[in-house]
Structure 1
Amino acid sequence: MAVTRGGREMVLYYSPEGNKNAAKLKGVLVRMGVRIRNVSEEQFGDTLGSLIGLEGFEARESAEKSGEAVGAIEREVLVMHNFSGNRIDELLLAMRRANVQKIDLKAIVTESNVNWSFYHLYEEIGAEHERMHQNANAKQ
Structure 2
Amino acid sequence: MIRKAGQELVLYYNPEASSKVMKLKGVLVRMGVRIRNVAPEQVTETVGALAGISGYKRAEQETAPDAARNAEETESDAGVLPVIPEEMLVMHGFTGRRIDELLLGLRKAGVPKVELKAIVTESNAGWTFYHLYEEIKEEHERMKQMEKEQGKA
When normalised by structure 1's length, the TM-score is: 0.90
Residues 9-45 of structure 1 deviation map (CA, whole Å, 9 limit, x = unaligned): 0000001213331110000000000000000011000
Kept after mapping to 1: 8 A contact 2:46/2:58: no
- Corresponding residue of 1:5: 3
For the pair shown, the structure with the greater C-alpha radius of gyration is 2
> Which string of whole-angstrom CA distances, capped at 9 and with x for unpartnered residues, describes residues 72-127 of structure 1?
11111000000000000000000000000000100000011000111100110000
Identity of aligned residues (%): 55
How far apart, CA to CA, are the structure 2 residues paired with 1:98 and 1:5? Answer: 26
- Take 2:28 and 2:39, find their aligned partners in 1: how far apart are those partners? 18
Quote the Cα distance in structure 1 between the aligned partners of 2:33 and 2:44: 24
CA contact (8 A) 1:78 1:105 kept: yes
- Report matched runs for 1:44-59 at 5 Å: 44-59=43-58
Q: Aligned pair in 2 of structure 1 residues 70, 124: CA closer, same or farther (>3 Å)?
A: farther
- Structure 2, unaligned runs of 5 or more: 63-68
Distance 1:47 1:28 in 2: 26
1:32-67: CA deviation from partner (whole Å, max 9, x where unpaired): 0000000001100000111011111112279x9476
**CA RMSD in angstroms, aligned pairs only:** 2.1
Give the unaligned 5+ runs of structure 1: none
Q: Quick check: 1:13–1:39 contact (8 Å CA) kept in 2?
A: yes
C-alpha distance in structure 1 between counterparts of 2:50 and 2:119, whole Å: 13
Larger relative helix fraction: 2
For these two proteins, the number of residue pairs brought into alignment is: 137
In the alignment, the residues of structure 1 paired with residue 137 and residue 42 of structure 2 have an alpha-carbon distance, to the nearest angstrom, of: 18
TM superposition score normalised by structure 2: 0.82
